Amino acid sequence: MGTTAAPRVPVEDVAAIRAFNRFFTRRVGVLRPTLLGSPWSLTEGRILYELRRRGRTEALALRRDLDMDPGQLSRVLSRLERNGLVARSPSPDDGRRQVVELTGEGMRAAALLDDRSNAQIEELVAHLAPPDRQRLVTALATARHLLDAPPARRAGGAAPPPRVLLRAPRPGDLGWVVERHGALYHAEYGWDRTFEASVARIVADFGAGSDPDAEALWIAELDGERVGCVACVREDAATARLRLLFVEPSARGLGIGARLVDTCMAFAREAGYRRMTLSTVSVLHSALRIYRAAGFRLTRSAPARLYGTDLEPQDWGTDL
């Protein structure tokens, strides 16, 4: 007998995701015969939602975006048409294609479902304190980002570019910077808590009273989720120091690290600094590529015992 290949995803991970699916479908009533106490099914409700949001649209676009079988979509639209909720007509651009839109009755039905869906979710999360509710929203955004198909697998052409925002820190962000540095670098490199303590001191110094004209910290968001950071701090009157560059694994490869570094350097120039320095270690290969591309050059490198392991700390610098 041949050897069975090991599964690409651990069985326990698959089981955990399936368990969540069962929990959530039960909590929101997906298994009930109709949607939110209405006469319509989940599929019919989704089509009503899409048509209310889009307005008049081609059935082909609706089928493609919902990833529905053509026959299934045709049957659902026929039922909605018989019930007076949608109207279909030939496309003015191509008579072989159908255009679909909601009737007045369909608009009222879609609005009713929207109201009931909003009320259901409000009831579902009403017991959560605002910080816990924000944790849930962030976790859901993370799930969407991680599960979204990569551009090469998307149907219908290239994916829209990710929405990346660099912003000033808000309450809670500084703690997130410390926590994510400590957790990620331990997971990826085995660094001990002394690294997290070092990051905490840097963040505490910044938060205790930085000069906004000479120092700044940016949080990178991808589609509303925190995925990275960088800081520019004062070393002396002529020199700025780049610190805390960090990008989550889920957001790497999108140019966010380079954008953070470019933003940091532009701020330093505007603030009047003539030089920028940074300290790193040789194992951070992706960061080193970004620094080289931005014009930084290695000025010092020496082996040392650091963060519970043997590393090669390095200093880099560039003129601004």
Q: Which residue from 200, 181, 201 is spatially nearest to 191, judged by alpha carbons?
A: 181
* pLDDT tens digits, one per residue of 100-140: 999 999 899 999 988 988 898 899 889 988 777 877 877 77
C-beta neighbour count of 59 within 10 angstroms:
19
Give the orientation angle of helix 256-270 with respect to helix 285-293, to 10 degrees.
Answer: 50
Contact between 80 and 47 (Cβ < 8 Å): yes
**Is the pLDDT score of 179 beyond 50?**
yes
Give the rounded distance of the alpha carbon of 34 from its chain centre: 32
Q: How far apart are CA 34 and CA 81, in angstroms?
A: 18
End-to-end CA distance of the chain: 65
**Is the pLDDT score of 85 beyond 50?**
yes
Average pLDDT over residues 197-221: 92
Q: For residue 310, with 0-12 CB atoms within 10 Å meaning exposed, 13-18 middle and 19 or more buried, which class applies?
A: exposed
Q: Which residue from 301, 260, 257, 296 is spatially nearest to 278, judged by alpha carbons?
A: 296
**Is the pLDDT score of 152 beyond 50?**
no
pLDDT at 249: 85
Q: How far apart are CA 18 and CA 24, in angstroms?
A: 10
Average pLDDT over residues 139-159: 60
Q: How do 239-247 and 275-281 pair as beta strands? A: parallel
**Is the pLDDT score of 155 beyond 70?**
no
Could you give the maximum distance between any two Cα atoms of the chain, in Å?
Answer: 77
- Give me 317's structure tokens: 């610098």
- Choice between 281 and 96, residue whose per-residue pLDDT is larger: 281
Domains and CATH numbers, the chain: 11-127 (1.10.10.10), 164-319 (3.40.630.30)
Whole-model pTM? 0.56
State the pLDDT confidence band at 153, using cuts at 50, 70 and 90: very low
**Is the pLDDT score of 320 beyond 50?**
yes
Contact between 317 and 295 (Cβ < 8 Å): no
The residue type of 267 is F
State the pLDDT confidence band at 166, using cuts at 50, 70 and 90: very high
* pLDDT tens digits, one per residue of 283-298: 999 999 999 999 999 9
